[in-house]
Structure 1
Amino acid sequence: MKLYIGNLSYRMTNDELNKTFSAYGDVLSTHIVLDRETQRSKGFAFVEFSDKQAAESAMQSLNGKELAGRTIVVNEARPKPARQRRAG
């Protein structure tokens, strides 16, 4: 199960994110989304768990909590919408 993590500190690292969420279960991956041009964090990330119960526990425990000075939002990640092809 994949979680969306919003309102992250721009200084947060994948290792710090992994350490925080690993307290709730086996984390398969963490991915902080970066701006393509500047390579700086966009302030959100995705964390994937191997176990749905662990992901739900992390979501319930961490949503609305402070992490690195910011109140984070934790939700189940939604599938990426299909992109429209440009005519031309």
Structure 2
Amino acid sequence: MINIYVGNLSYQSGDADVLAAFEAFGEVKSAKVIQDMATGRSKGFAFVEMSDKTAGLTAIEQLDNTELNGRNIRVNEARPRERTNDRGGDRGGDRGEFRARR
């Protein structure tokens, strides 16, 4: 199985458009255009999950920088999200061992 990132999508492109582009290369388990939760509008990218890694790699090679609904799309293997610090990370400032009392 392979997860694929599809970027630079037209805001008019939907799940069916992305699915149709990838089906020519093999079985597509899912094709989802990501939408803004507040507005419901496309964010201009999608994720595609294909059953066969070889078919997915062929799709990436063949579809990258091709036109879909008037825009040249970017297609590559999706990378896992970077794990972020659950506490929100360092906010800067001097955090020395000793702090002055107020």
Whole-angstrom CA distance in 1 between matches of 2:38 and 2:85: 22
Structure 1: tracts of 5 or more residues without a match:
none
Q: Deviations over 1:38-64 (max 9, x none)?
A: 010000000010001110110000001
- TM-score normalised by L of structure 2: 0.81
Q: Percent identity?
A: 46
Q: Rg bigger for which structure?
A: 2
Counterpart for residue 94 of structure 2: none
Q: TM-score, normalised by structure 1?
A: 0.93
Deviation at 1:15, TM superposition (A): 1.1
Partner in structure 1 of residue 91 of structure 2: none
Tell me the CA shift for residue 36 of structure 1.
1.4
Q: Distance in 1 between matches of 2:54 and 2:62?
A: 12
**Size of the alignment, in residue pairs?**
87
Q: Structure 2: where are the runs of 5+ without partners?
A: 89-102
RMSD: 1.1
Match of 1:27 in 2: 28
Structure 1 runs (4+) deviating above 6 angstroms are none
| Offset, 1:84 | 2.6
Please give the alpha-carbon distance, in whole angstroms, between the structure 1 residues aligned to 2:24 and 2:86.
41
Q: Choose between structure 1 and 2 for higher RCO, CA contacts under 8 A separated by at least 6 residues.
A: 1
